[in-house]
A and B are shown apart, each in its own frame.
Chain A
Amino acid sequence: DTEVTQTPKHLVMGMTNKKSLKCEQHMGHRAMYWYKQKAKKPPELMFVYSYEKLSINESVPSRFSPECPNSSLLNLHLHALQPEDSALYLCASSQTGTSGRSAVYEQYFGPGTRLTVT
């Protein structure tokens, strides 16, 4: 199984709503990533979890709150978002070294959640 799954596929939310994006993989990968992608732009890294611990936060606003409850699951909790947060949110996973660094392991991406904030 080389699949990363993401739910929901589409999400429309108001600026006062609280919602969550979910990502799951069963490849035994211990590094998981959240990316944000605006139209016609490459993905931008938001967060990296390594061995269920947050290892990289790319100065993401606190209205985005990641959570890694176990080695297969990654959540992104959303609260008080702005319309400019509308984007495709991609999850990815990869193997990682025993020191916690991903080195040159290939990243596998999910299909993304298309988020619209109204």
Chain B
Amino acid sequence: KNEVEQSPQNLTAQEGEFITINCSYSVGISALHWLQQHPGGGIVSLFMLSSGKKKHGRLIATINIQEKHSSLHITASHPRDSAVYICADIPQGGSEKLVFGKGTKLTVNP
């Protein structure tokens, strides 16, 4: 069964801190999404990656296919980064059906 686990479930940080959110999955995948959702809001796709590392501004996502693990890093965190971060994988062979983690709620205090 394809399961996606995220840790931590909740994370509180001070402005400027380096943040790491982890995602592990149980079966082989084609790719993995990192998504951001602000309170009461829609979902923004931050990254989709199938190998290596991607960077966009202060956000960095890495994936290790062999270890079935991905991380999302936020450098120089800011209160506007406060949101729920969700990882979702695309099963191997390709599929419209994303398998979602339960999300990590990040709060960055000024």
Contacts and interface: CB of A to CB of B under 8 A. Distances in A.
Interface string B41-64: 111110010100000000000000
Contacts of B23: none
B102 A101 contact: no
B40 interface: yes
B96 A111 contact: no
Contact of A55 (B43, B44, B96, B102): B96
B96 A106 contact: no
Interface in B38-88: 40-45, 48, 50, 86, 88
Contacts of B110: none
A20 B33 CA distance: 29
Interface residues of B, number: 24
A109 B94 contact: no
Interface size class of A (residues with CB under 8 A): 20 to 34
A107 B86 CA distance: 13
Given A42-B86, A106-B45, A56 B97 contact: yes
Contacts of B50: 104
Interface of A: 6, 31, 33, 40-43, 45, 48, 50, 55-56, 90, 92, 94, 96-97, 101-104, 106-112, 114
List the 8 shortest-distance A-B pairs measured between CB atoms, nearest first.
Answer: A111-B42, A103-B94, A42-B100, A109-B43, A106-B48, A104-B31, A102-B96, A104-B30
